[in-house]
Structure 1
Amino acid sequence: MPPPLIAAGPLGVGYRPADEADLPFLFGVYASTRLEELAQTGWPAEMQTIFLRQQFDAQHHHYRTYYSEAEWLVVQWRGADVGRLYFEEWPSQVRIIDIALLPAARGHGLGAAILQDMLALAAGLSKAASIHVEKNNPAMRLYRRLGFATVEDKGVYDLMEWRAESAPGEPT
């Protein structure tokens, strides 16, 4: 069940189930989130692509293995595929496995709206929401603004959790 489109719908966001035919697109979304980081390596473009493909394949395999009941969604904006949203409902929480948007879709409030709708989904189920966030991820400010708090240091990542009773305000 996709999250409600309370905040994201008015911005032109929609979802469709991802399938195997979407793997090239999903790889492109993943790669777009790592380009700045890899630009600093000085590796030739071909080596960067090989590395990104290996990392994407490993991540995809991990996600499919450990989150077998997840929702795998392609994020659409104004009818175009622009990102991915993966999440799974657990007994006590909604785990946001991954949310990523292509560069052209960033900075328009889409990520914040999608997250607000995920929080509305969790609140409607009387559950917490959680996500692993890289410590240097610029979106960390957004997560904190929405009421997520670090509950566990996982090295490179923080496990962050949102609970309705500790949120700064109701998700809109």
Structure 2
Amino acid sequence: MNSGDSSRDDQADTDLSPDSTGPSPLESAKSKQSATPTKNSKGLKILVVDDDFEIIESVRYALEGAGYDVVVARDGNQGLALAERENPDLMVLDMMMPKRSGFLVLEKLRRLRDEPLPVIMITGNEGSRHKAYAELLGVSDYIRKPFAMDRLVDAVGKLLDA
């Protein structure tokens, strides 16, 4: 983590970069799993779309620990196919992926679905233009990597309890 990033409220205490000397994302997620599942989380399905195995497994572990059913896609095309087939209650979507970016997934989802799917976009990109475009496309929340799993689980809970 850069020392100049301390003012950002969406950053984790744990660095998820591969050269980090701290705990791995999965270890961090396991330590956060103590969150008690809410009554409303049972049976709600979340689609996680990311090409990074460690992020996928960490997010899956944290969300399943909070009582959600999790479906995983490893690229944008697979994410779109699963969104149509599985009809998730919420999507956690990476911005930069092979085959189809998170933006292209969002654009296509907005054309295909009558009711908008709540989407939390996660990204390592610092650009404010990217955040503005994601918001224009209707993302419900935008979380920069690295992030604390608590931050993501809380965002999911707020969106699905609304």
The TM-score with structure 2 as length reference comes to 0.39
The TM-score with structure 1 as length reference comes to 0.37
User: Larger Cα Rg: Structure 1 or Structure 2?
Assistant: 1
Higher strand share: 1
Higher RCO (C-alpha under 8 Å, 6+ residues apart) = 2
